[in-house]
Structure 1
Amino acid sequence: MDIRDNGPNPNAFDLETATVENRFYRQVAWTGKYLQVTLMSIPVGESIGLEVHPDTDQFVRLDAGKGKAVMGPEKDDLNWSQDVSDGWSVQVPAGMWHDITNTGDEPMRLYVIYAPSHHAPGKVHPTRAESEADEESGADEPPEWTHQPE
């Protein structure tokens, strides 16, 4: 399925099909002024990567595979965990350290809704390493027209 981020314009697509067919670590599917939709594919044994977003809430939904979600107030205090699989959602409050690891035997396919937008519109990261490099270099920033916290 061909997805093109046309944000902040109206958009519609088959989200479940797009998520299941996505082969990239992360693909930004739509960027709005106040939220953003990304598709992710996590290989067997890998994870989204332990991270925290001080001003961004996240909604994560698995459409294929299974994993283990962890969260906590500190990087070394992940005191919440939940096994998740196809159809499960995970809500990540802003400021909460979190990770989801693929514990299954197939790629874990999920989509993430960020509020506010967190990535550059239309950005495609084939691998987690490319995503991390873009974040470190500042090449993966939300556009100026999005609403961002002070």
Structure 2
Amino acid sequence: MSGYVKNIEDATDKNSNFRKVLFTAPHSQLVVMCLKPGEDIGMEMHKHVDQFLRIESGVGKAILGGEEFELKDGIALVVPAGTYHNLINTSTSKLLRLYSIYSPPNHPQGTVHKTKKEAYPPRVSETNHLCKHFSVGLKYTVLVNYEK
């Protein structure tokens, strides 16, 4: 496809995925997102990527570089590269729907994350307790075999 020509409001309103890449060009990328009530994107920083976000529906809060801003339909944000930021759905019942333009692209073309958990699988630090238990078990087994 040589470009993207669609009704972005409809595409955003119909999206139920945490993140879905709609189009990737050489220097920019269009992504729609949907946050469940109480869900957030997670504090993040893109070292070399500028990001434009527009709230299509819902309410929430944005944190940009330590400052907080209220979010509602029609609000736009520009997040310069290197700025820590987070978006939070503050509703207890409604979805927060938005679209984002990354420059340069930030996700592989065709990326679809149905849930936040799918987008951000547990990190080593979050599963470290399982690794410790596993390694303790291995050490114990090795010691028993060694002593025989």
TM superposition score category, shorter chain reference? 0.7 to 0.9
User: Which residue number corresponds to residue 91 of structure 1?
Assistant: 78
> For 1:113-124, what aligned pairs fall within 5 Å after superposition?
113-124=101-112
Question: Aligned to 2:97, which of 85, 102, 109?
Answer: 109
User: Which residue number corresponds to residue 141 of structure 1?
Assistant: none
> For 1:1-150, what aligned pairs fall within 5 Å after superposition?
6=1, 9-72=2-65, 78=66, 80-104=67-91, 105-133=93-121
Question: C-alpha separation between the residues in 2 aligned to 1:123 and 1:133?
Answer: 15
TM-score, length-scaled by structure 2? 0.79
> Please, what is the CA RMSD of the aligned residues?
1.7
Question: C-alpha separation between the residues in 2 aligned to 1:135 and 1:94?
Answer: 24
Residues 135 and 116 (structure 1), Cα distance of their counterparts in 2 relative to 1, 3 Å cut: farther
Aligned length: 123
Deviations 1:67-115 (A, max 9, x none): 100011xxxxx2x111010100111010000001001230100001000
Amino acid in the other structure paired with 1:61: R
Question: C-alpha separation between the residues in 1 aligned to 2:88 and 2:110?
Answer: 25
The answer to which structure has the higher helix fraction is 2
Question: C-alpha separation between the residues in 2 aligned to 1:116 and 1:129?
Answer: 24
Question: C-alpha separation between the residues in 1 aligned to 2:103 and 2:122?
Answer: 20
TM-score, length-scaled by structure 1? 0.78
Amino acid in the other structure paired with 1:90: L
Question: C-alpha separation between the residues in 2 aligned to 1:51 and 1:22?
Answer: 22
Deviations 1:4-35 (A, max 9, x none): xx4xx222111000001100000000000000
Q: Give the C-alpha shift of residue 133 in structure 1.
A: 3.0
Tell me the percent identity.
37
Q: Give the C-alpha shift of residue 134 in structure 1.
A: 10
The DSSP-based 3-state class of the residue aligned with 1:133 is coil
Which consecutive residues of structure 2, in runs of 5 or more, have no partner in the other structure?
125-148
Q: Which has the larger radius of gyration?
A: 2
